[in-house]
Structure 1
Amino acid sequence: MKLSAEMRAFEDRLGYSFRRPELLVRALTHGSMSSATRTDNQRLEFLGDRVLGLVMADALLDHDKGATEGQLAPRFNALVRKEACAEVARDIDLGAVLKLGRSEMMSGGRRKLALLGDAMEAVLAAVYRDGGLDAARGVILRHWAKRIDTVEADARDAKTALQELLQARGEQPPRYEAVARTGPDHAPVFTIAARLADGTEARASATSKRQAEQAAAAALLQQLGA
């Protein structure tokens, strides 16, 4: 299989040239484009998540040899979560080569966090399948290096931090409720309320429910003085 000029440009941005280019094509094929003769990227996404996790865990151990497990775990979570993968995907303009069905493309699929994050994981798996673990490690460290250097030592996500605080106080975990959705279908904005058992709540809005929940949890933490 011969890659298009657009795909070759993406290889340059990724920093890896495929010996089996069909792996890259599969990694960039969303389920909305799958057919009996065209495989989507879901299985590669499953593998890529594990490859990223292994490389990142190893990199964090090397980066801070004195860190405890309790310090490493939140850094790890911050670096491998879907938002981080989507950020890398945006950095290398993965959306420009993502293969989407018409309906998904018309609804703004090239900009969706979940689709970009999933495809980035699939691309990492494709590199692993094509060139082995060393090749995958090289790509990951190239694009995550600055993030590893700057990830905060207490990089627990807000939802985890809030739950741990409430557990320490012997209180029930918070509830998250979607209270509004605005904007067009291709660029929705979700408003989430994070509520405690005593009725205390905080609200936040974002372009994904996950981000809105995190922002609401952070706002609630601030209210609690944490």
Structure 2
Amino acid sequence: MLEKATLDDLLVCGHDMGLYYDVSFVIRLIKLFVDINGNDVMKMKKVGGLIDKYLIEISPDQKLKISKFLEVAECLPDFARDCFDGVYRAIDIYLESHPMIAFEEGSRLCRCLNYNKLTFEVCKDLAKNPKIPPRIAMQALISQQTNIPISCEFTIVGSKSMSPSKINLCYQDNNDNFLEEKEDMSINLEKMQWRVRELEKLCKEMKVQMSKFTGHNV
């Protein structure tokens, strides 16, 4: 019956490790639902959307551990979500609400994302998001690049007597949009590569400083 539930139905108050909501209870519900309805694609997708809303709702909780977040997100199989934009929104809120977590933990949090199922707009937002580790942003952008079709399809709208000049304009508009998106993606990828280089440079500088500090204290 979980496919008929609403978000309010899942927001059960509890004292699960100090959390405002009883997350463990919801995890048990999801696992039971998957065991019974794992082959019903329609039901699974309905619950997928519901769980994404639930993740967004519980993400700001300061006592919500990454392991619990991932357990909720990963209870459902990949096919239960046609799009992972909701999961990304929940991750973004979590990172915003937990600013002290390390980059490594941020990478771990992002493991529940399927980059191929992010929309292009959300992928661009992810790439520009300073809270997302550069390696994750690069992986997402690369996955989007592989999804861009080699040829640009377009539809001619109008009568059969449409003039060649209008047909060319239709194609040109679609082709221009395609080139703009591809160029935008390339720019974002270059930015991510720059961020990675800067981080590597910073790590090297820190190692040098640490070695000097250690040498002085020997």
TM-score tier, shorter chain, comes to under 0.3
Which structure has more strand as a fraction of its residues? Answer: 1
Bigger RCO of structures 1 and 2 (CA < 8 A, at least 6 apart): 1
Q: Which has the larger radius of gyration?
A: 2
Q: TM-score, normalised by structure 2?
A: 0.23
Q: TM-score, normalised by structure 1?
A: 0.22
